[in-house]
Amino acid sequence: MWMKKTTTIAEWLTKATEALRPTSETPSLEAQALLAKFLGTSRAYLLAHPEHLLDETSLEQLGQALKRLCQGEPLPYVLGEQEFYGLPIKVTPAVLIPRPETELLVEQAITWLRQHPTRRHAADVGTGSGCIAASLAHHIPDLMVLAVDRSRLALQVARENLQRLRLSQRVHLLQADLLSPVHASFDLICANLPYIPTPRLAELRVAQFEPRDALDGGPEGLDLILRLLQQAPYRLAPGGLLLAEIDASQALILRELAHSYFPRAEITIHPDLAGISRLLAVQA
């Protein structure tokens, strides 16, 4: 590695930033985040103590992690963690990295639950890391959640997150294909299912590192969302709410499909902070 044995924080950050420039849009921020994580400190501390010397063991571990970043691996996988709705969520290559745009779903769900204090049974379909289920249970202390995923490896990550956040008593995990084996009704159904059309995956960098099963929504990107809409009339309690993250290109057709399965429901498409259609809401 190009680091000398007496490397300071400032020297390491400078070298790491330069090494990350070819592959990162924010090389300086990624370098700071990586170093802060390994030192167990904050980015503010790094900037306030540029003269601090890094020991040889730290430099070796940092070098290995930096190499992964330079090869294009996403920062959250290297750090092993991603913040989501204010919670630290463990992530591995077995699960999709939680995105800020998915916080819209959580925000809408929490608002609805607080407006309906007797509605306390929810399902999180395609839970992945468990970030949605954990966020809902954390902010609604009497909520019971069934978190479903078909991936055993993803459920292992979700289980660790629930244990770390002390939510295992109220969030129950189930390995299943959507809600097929479930014979219960829910006041709230949340879903962040794969919705990227298969042909688009080849051109997306995200598909190089994140699990394909968590991204691939079939030829039109609608396969899993459509199947959930088919199941939902038998799983959503009267007056309940279904929320599903979508791709903007699917907004019109999903509105029509949702109306065909819920002809009396109020169907809404919510935009994210960028004004992009992001969330399908079905108020039964």
- Distance from C-alpha of 267 to C-alpha of 281, rounded to nearest angstrom: 6
pLDDT at res. 5: 62
pLDDT at res. 1: 45
Fold for 81-283, please state it: Rossmann fold (3.40.50)
9-72 classified as CATH 3.40.50.150: no
Domain ranges of the chain: 9-72, 81-283
DSSP letter string, 151-179:
-HHHHHHHHHHHHHTT-TTTEEEEE-STT
pLDDT exceeds 90 at position 121: yes
pLDDT exceeds 90 at position 62: yes
pLDDT at res. 57: 85
Provide the residue type at 6 as one letter: T
For 110, other C-beta atoms within 10 Å of its C-beta total: 18
- Distance from C-alpha of 170 to C-alpha of 143, rounded to nearest angstrom: 7
pLDDT exceeds 80 at position 6: no
Q: Helix, strand or coil for residue 212? A: helix
> What number is the average pLDDT over the span 3-27?
88
pLDDT exceeds 50 at position 150: yes
DSSP label of 216: B
Structure confidence at residue 205 as a pLDDT band (50, 70, 90): confident
Run of H or E including 148: strand 144-149
- Distance from C-alpha of 186 to C-alpha of 211, rounded to nearest angstrom: 28
pLDDT at res. 116: 98
- Distance from C-alpha of 279 to C-alpha of 106, rounded to nearest angstrom: 11
DSSP label of 8: B
pLDDT exceeds 70 at position 283: yes
Give strand pairing partners of 243: 190, 281
Residue 214 vs residues 138, 157, 197: alpha-carbon distances, Å: 24, 14, 12
- pLDDT, one tens digit per residue, over 246-275 is 999 999 999 999 999 999 999 999 999 899
Q: What is the pTM of this model?
A: 0.92
pLDDT at res. 103: 97
- Distance from C-alpha of 55 to C-alpha of 3, rounded to nearest angstrom: 11
Give strand pairing partners of 171: 145
CA 276, 279, 281: angle at the middle one, nearest 5? Answer: 140
Token duo for residue 189: 């159904």
- pLDDT, one tens digit per residue, over 17-33 is 999 999 899 999 999 99
pLDDT at res. 4: 56
